[in-house]
Amino acid sequence: MRILSGIQPSGTLHLGNYFGMMHRMINYQANNELFCFLVNYHALTTVFDAGLLRQQTFNAACDFLALGLDPDKSVFWVQSDVPEVTELTWLLSNVAGMGLLERSHSYKDKIAKGIPASHGLFAYPVLMAADILLFGGEKVPVGKDQKQHLEIARDIAIRFNGTYGETFIIPEPDIEEDVAVVPGIDGQKMSKSYGNTLEIFADEKSLRKKVMSIKTDSTPVDEPKPVKDNPLFDLYALFLDEKGRAELEERFLTPGLRYGDVKKELFGAIWEHFAPYRKERERLAADKQFVLAAMKKGAAKARAAAAPFLEKARRNVGLDYRN
């Protein structure tokens, strides 16, 4: 099956990105055709510093490669290296209903957070639909925050096929309920733009500091602690198997638990979980040529996969006027 998903280099990648998408994508690569990309055109909707965007794109490439994405086995590229996606975005724009786009929660949330309203931000879901349809993505692993965008992509594909004839594969979302929304240290959705992230490759000191600042309630030590809507519980649970989660729940429900002790354990769990990847991450960051060569190869493979879908779409809408 062709599994496809992208991530924005709009900041430093974090545990929400990792559990919602990256980790699952990397696991899929053993038995599937994996298409994974860094959506720097999307990041332009919120990042207005060119140097920062360049650096974050490179860093995100290093993160994925260090965590085990194999650029020979999979197709791994940077979105802007296959600019055909912007042409498809235009073709799709004409069947993307205004009502559909106006209902986008993500757009409304971003405006509410002070991100300037722009056509790019508004049209974000159309570019995302193009990302998926251009490469014939069948299954799209995402966090729950992207559920509506996936529905919009499906709707656009169905409308396009209905208007112009069968052109695109209708993609299916793949959302894992256990990790649907990873909370940030303030209890809101962990998000690069909310400044509440635990970064995958943070240094020891800053990671410890951030973990110790996870928001907790004021339940006295000698009372049971809540497990629902408790970011400390939810974050720790990500690193535990079923048995471990049941034990953690038991500990929270037993009077005497100190949040500070749990935070120290959580720091240890995060630090250990990513320890095997940290050396490789450092090596890659110092070997720019290797990373750039891998991305170049990935772009060539992605472009080849896109060509038949774009050609068919151009033909079906009537851009092939010479025929």
Cite the active site residues. Answer: 110, 189, 192
- Tell me how far, at minimum, the Cβ of 254 lies from ligand AQP, in Å: 29
CA-based angle 130:132:134, to the nearest 5? 60
Q: Is 231 in the site for ligand AQP (CB under 6 A)?
A: no
Q: Is 17 in the site for ligand AQP (CB under 6 A)?
A: yes
Which of the stretches 142-150, 166-174, 211-219, 232-240 binds ligand AQP when contact is defined by CB under 6 A? 142-150
Q: Is 193 in the site for ligand AQP (CB under 6 A)?
A: yes
Closest to ligand AQP by CB, 41 or 164: 41
Positions in 62-81 near ligand AQP (CB under 6 A):
none
- Distance in angstroms (rounded) separating the CA atoms of residues 78 and 39: 6
Which of the stretches 162-170, 189-197, 272-280, 296-304 binds ligand AQP when contact is defined by CB under 6 A? 189-197
Judged by CB under 6 A, the residue of 78, 181, 200, 207 near ligand AQP is: 181
- Tell me how far, at minimum, the Cβ of 303 lies from ligand AQP, in Å: 21
- Asked whether 302 and 81 are in contact (CB, 8 A), the reply is yes
Q: Is 142 in the site for ligand AQP (CB under 6 A)?
A: yes
Which of the stretches 16-24, 68-76, 94-102, 117-125 binds ligand AQP when contact is defined by CB under 6 A? 16-24
Structure tokens at 261: 């002790």
- Asked whether 72 and 34 are in contact (CB, 8 A), the reply is no
- Distance in angstroms (rounded) separating the CA atoms of residues 231 and 141: 23
Write phi, then psi, for 165 (nearest 5 degrees): 95, 160
CA-based angle 90:76:284, to the nearest 5? 135
CA 102 vs. chain centroid, Å, equals: 22
Judged by CB under 6 A, the residue of 192, 210, 251, 281 near ligand AQP is: 192
Q: Is 12 in the site for ligand AQP (CB under 6 A)?
A: no
Structure tokens at 269: 């769990």
- Asked whether 43 and 10 are in contact (CB, 8 A), the reply is yes
Amino acid at 317: V
Which of the stretches 13-21, 150-158, 295-303, 308-316 binds ligand AQP when contact is defined by CB under 6 A? 13-21
Judged by CB under 6 A, the residue of 34, 38, 182, 248 near ligand AQP is: 182
- Asked whether 181 and 189 are in contact (CB, 8 A), the reply is yes
- Distance in angstroms (rounded) separating the CA atoms of residues 116 and 236: 35
Q: Is 191 in the site for ligand AQP (CB under 6 A)?
A: yes
Judged by CB under 6 A, the residue of 71, 125, 143, 298 near ligand AQP is: 143
- Distance in angstroms (rounded) separating the CA atoms of residues 280 and 286: 10
Binding footprint of ligand AQP on the chain (CB under 6 A): 5, 7-8, 10-11, 16-17, 20-21, 46, 142-143, 145-146, 181-182, 189-193
